[in-house]
Amino acid sequence: MATTIRPATRADVPQILAFIRALAAYERASEAVTATEASLELEGFGPNPFYFCLIAEHDGQTAGYAIYFFNYSTWVGPGIYLEDIFVEPELRGRGIGKALLERVAAIAVEKGCQRLQWAVLDWNTPAIEFYRAMGADFLDEWRNVRMSGEALKGLAGEVDGACAPWNPAEDDLQ
């Protein structure tokens, strides 16, 4: 019963989307998924990827995935944010999730990242116990903040459905 972890390729995009949908269903948010194969291919395998993905295979079958991206802390420097980690329900308990998490941690160390960070739903007791057993710290004093949809567009100053393109030379925040 061998588990392997490998970087995802463009050919994995349909499976990545299937994993995303399965994770969303588990998290009771199926309706929230707007990703498509086209968007995943462009955003993960284009010239400037927004995310990176690892695929877990167990006994020759696709078993799970992890999606991560690099972030930056002004306090400690570069880090990795683990957006998704998922293992097919029938394959859980075989060390596949741990292998995915270990590989993301190894990438963080290889790249000189100072931390690995992610979120977990407060009702997901199996995941919380799993992360706690791995030595993760829970930052209960911090609140996740998100802005999306019309609020994001409004803050960005979108007018008539379009934002002016960003020009770093004109950015007054430099």
> Which residue numbers are catalytic?
131
d(CA 84, CA 52): 11
* Angle value at C-alpha 104, between 14 and 93, nearest 5 degrees: 75
CB 155 within 8 A of CB 147: yes
Helix (H, G, I), strand (E, B) or coil at 68: strand
Instruction: Tell me the backbone φ, ψ of residue 67, rounded to 5 degrees.
Output: -115, 135
Asked if 105 contacts 89 with a C-beta cutoff of 8 angstroms, the reply is no
- The bridge status of strand 52-58 relative to strand 77-87 is unpaired
Q: Report strand pairing: 77-87 vs 61-73.
A: antiparallel
Q: Where are the alpha helices (DSSP H) in the chain?
A: 13-26, 37-45, 96-110, 125-133, 149-155
